[in-house]
Amino acid sequence: SSAVLEAIENVIQGVLESLAQKKAPVLTLANRTDWRNIEFKDSVGLQMIPRCTTKQIRSDCPHSAKRFALMLKILSMIYKMVQSNTYATKRDIYYSDTLLFGSQSVVDQIINDISCMLKIPRRSLHVLSTTKGFVAGNLSYTEEDGTKVNCTCSATVFTVPSNVQGIKNLTSHAKFMLIVEKDATFQRLLDDDFFSKVSPCIMITGRGIPDLNTRLLVRKLWDSFQIPIFTLMDADPHGVEIMCIYKYGSVSMSFEAHHLTVPSIKWLGLLPSDLKRLNIRKDALIPFTKQDQNKLASIQKRPYIAYQPLWKKELEIMAASKLKAEIQVLTSLSSDYLSRVYLPNKLQFGGWL
């Protein structure tokens, strides 16, 4: 915490020194969304290069003056929380002055900018993000406040903890971990009692694009148990994108890649090649939109695809067919095909990439 306080004090000192010299204060931070600032490293994923291009938030420019003021406001709130060892969610910060901030997304972006500027992980700033992910299966742990969570003894879904860093006493006999893209598929696998039928496993869903806590938990479980991690996604560009976020990280959070990515994650399904192999009817597939085509083209150009020749082939199959499929398409074969046939066969015979 003293490092966080010192980092904030240095920023404020810079502002005061500029004012003393009658200069307009400026906040300088790395340009988080520029691919030129990103390098791909097989063992980490997407990470920010040490000397990257920066952008300035100026106090004397009408375009950025408000953002400058909001960054100082949130810096002061973080400073007080770290001093008093209290925590707030991003939502709490927004609701402390909705008129001033204008929208939740403004607060979210500023907190990420501050984390990047100070080079301090977001959870060390005492800002918690609200969690949307779920976890179930063969896992028990103790939360920071002492609450014991046991996912093993029931088909109950547990929300991913909002302070992943604080959980301890993790125990599991799971043989593997399954990351499921969507809530509906996750619930279906729970209803079919999948995680105890095949072999003990841990199931996680970020319910679409994963939030920070879900990604932190996946990483923490990998660090704790070193068991294989598989992903179950829709056979579409959006599903591939989500899988890449878990495995290699995202451009906007590349400055935190070391805490968030798990490059050993495997693509279990739904593979574009599975659709032909299982004779899925054409009329059960969905034609690409222009947006799908653009998203797939952008994924194919990413640096990590060159390191994954088998993925590359699957993306080429998808691009050639211009068709996508949701995991639910397997119900056209039989209502429980996913949990009774598809997943057990894949896991037994090594049908992953």
Two tokens, residue 35: 């691919």
Contact 8, 79 (CB under 8 A): yes
Exactly one of 95, 141, 246, 342 is catalytic; which is it?
95
Q: Which 3 state secondary structure label does DSSP give 259? A: helix
CA distance 161 to 149: 10
Nearest to 341 by CA among 269, 285, 276: 269
In DSSP terms, 82 is beta-bridged to none
Tokens of 17: 């020194």
Catalytic-residue membership of 79:
no
Distance between CA atoms of 296 and 241, rounded to whole angstroms? 9
Q: Where do the H-state alpha helices sit in 143-236?
A: 183-191, 194-197, 212-225
CA torsion sign for 207, 186, 177, 139 is positive
Nearest to 206 by CA among 265, 289, 146, 121: 265
Active site residues per annotation: 95
